[in-house]
Structure 1
Amino acid sequence: MSVRQPKNRRILLFCLNLVLAAIILMPFFWMVSVSLKPAAEPFAIPARLWPEHPTFENYVTAFRPEFRIYFVNSIIVSAATLIITVALALFAAYAFTRAQFRLISIAMTLVIVSQMFPASAIIIPIYKMMKAANLLNTYTSLILAYVTVTLPVAIWMMRGFMANLPLTLEEAAAIDGAGPLRTFFEIILPLCRPGIVATAVFVLIVTWQEFLFALSFTSTKEMRTLPVGVNDYIGQYGIRYGELMASSVLISLPVVLVFFLLQRQFVAGLTAGAVKG
């Protein structure tokens, strides 16, 4: 009886996980299904979960020259934001975990509090600053805005990971004659790889799919990113659902691919920073 209960419990948990996965993945399945349907089939009665005659015509139409420009813009903005945010978060988190000053604790509290403000509350002052600096409709405006939004969480994530690194490693390096910078780059940085990956994946997901700042700070098609670019399929007299869903699938693929390639490091980075040893 004691052996059967754990087995039944595992079966129940497995079934619950399957139901939860089906609920979560259903919108994505519907998105892929509509992207493969001809123009009239999404409105056919009776409705079909899977197209009767799948076609890649929507993908061919969606991958037009404008879409490629949006794709390049998203790569440039996301890559620059990722590099800047992770680099700043590394140095800030190292300072927060190693410096023993009361002001450091206050600064860390302010970093956390800054994340309590929604994007809609800070977009107007940031917009005014960008306009005053004549940076609107440029990569710089988007990169600065995204760094502002992602840096507090990135610092918090890296701090949780670095807090688990023993001070004895730095003390041993100092005894061997290594300076602070050499210790950071040759000892601390390699040990922080899981935390760096977890932070980088978080920054990439946020910046790749961000819509509000990209819509507000860009005014020409040449500077649009992918989330704003999909609005091209929403017109005054109708919505081209097939092309809209096809472009949405193409937008989702890079992030999904990066996550699956780095999921082990991502989970390791989150769990390593979750518990202080």
Structure 2
Amino acid sequence: MKPYILRQKLRHGILFLTLSGITVLMLLPFIWVIITSLKPESQVYVFPPEWVPSPVTLENYQAVWASNMPLYLFNSTIVAVGSIILTLIVSIHAAYAVSRFKFRGMNVFMFLLIASHMIPGVANLVPTYLLASKMNLLDTYIVLILVYSMWQTPLVVWLIQGFLQNVPQSLDKAAMVDGYSRLGAMYRVVVPLSKPGLAAAAIVVFVYAWNEFVIALTLTSSDEMRLAQVGLKYYISQFGIQWGELTAAVVLSTIPVLLLFILLQKWFIYGLTSGAMKG
């Protein structure tokens, strides 16, 4: 075997082992969460810790499912899906305008747009709460959808416009020659070709809306409107932490995100890579 081929295989082998080790380290906490959720409460505190539950039990999942967690998961789903829809409706129009038209101050506009996304959400929490209170929107789906959509729109505009720049403008012109308006060409031609980019944006928005905690805790107060991530907090009380039920609830709250990513994984990766390339 030639020396350079041997060196190349050696580098690939080292890279594979390194990435495999990093992956295992990253997955180790979640694996431990799953193992803990399958243990009886008495076995959770055994030292040294046991990696194999004995016996394996689903009582923690049964307890979580009998609580209000299904309602919290339902609330999170409504808010996340609503945030995706509103964010994409606003962002696709803004991204189309930026990718198709050149106007004075466009670079400044795009810089300010992404800069607004860098401001910590907590910094705007007090004025957001006061405004929502005056508009009687506290403790509703609407306020959470509006806030999450507003917060994610700058990032999604940047993501989608990078992808739209790879859609030839000649397709727009051809559609308009066939009788479509500018918006008609966007809806009938550009949007269908932008599905991978929209899928990537949808996952980004969903993950943010599903995992956000501080805003959801502040803008909702009733148990009927509580989101899943806020509901996890109530497994921690002054009497201790219910580790078995908490880990079971964590696993259940993670499943929707994993399912969405698995379903849209191909489009997500293609959308990110296509949006990163220009020309």
TM-score range, shorter chain: over 0.9
Q: For each residue in 1:198-217, what CA deviation from the matched residue of structure 2 results, as whole angstroms up to 9, or x when unmatched?
A: 00011001001110111001
Runs of 5+ unmatched residues, structure 1: none
The amino acid that maps onto 1:153 is: L
Residue number in structure 2 paired with 1:81: 83
Residue number in structure 2 paired with 1:18: 20
Retained in 2: the 8 A contact 1:111–1:152? yes
Once the two structures are TM-superposed, the CA of residue 85 in structure 1 deviates from its matched residue by: 0.4
- Alignment of structure 1 residues 83-232 onto 2, 5 Å: 83-232=85-234
Residue number in structure 2 paired with 1:255: 257
Question: Which range moves more in the overlay, 188-197 or 125-134?
Answer: 125-134
Residue number in structure 2 paired with 1:59: 61
Provide the secondary structure at the position in 1 that maps to 2:108. helix
Q: Percent identity?
A: 39
Count of aligned residue pairs for this structure pair: 277
The amino acid that maps onto 2:256 is: P
C-alpha RMSD over aligned residues: 1.1
The amino acid that maps onto 2:28 is: M
Residue number in structure 2 paired with 1:245: 247
Q: For each residue in 1:25-69, what CA deviation from the matched residue of structure 2 results, as whole angstroms up to 9, or x when unmatched?
A: 011001101101110112102211232221111000011241121
The whole-number CA distance in structure 1 between the counterparts of 2:252 and 2:99 is: 40
Residue number in structure 2 paired with 1:36: 38
The whole-number CA distance in structure 1 between the counterparts of 2:28 and 2:203 is: 24
Q: With structure 2 as the length reference, what TM-score do the two structures score?
A: 0.96
Provide the secondary structure at the position in 2 that maps to 1:3. helix
The whole-number CA distance in structure 2 between the counterparts of 1:106 and 1:14 is: 43
Once the two structures are TM-superposed, the CA of residue 119 in structure 1 deviates from its matched residue by: 1.3
Retained in 2: the 8 A contact 1:37–1:51? yes
Once the two structures are TM-superposed, the CA of residue 178 in structure 1 deviates from its matched residue by: 2.3
The amino acid that maps onto 1:64 is: A
The whole-number CA distance in structure 1 between the counterparts of 2:120 and 2:134 is: 22
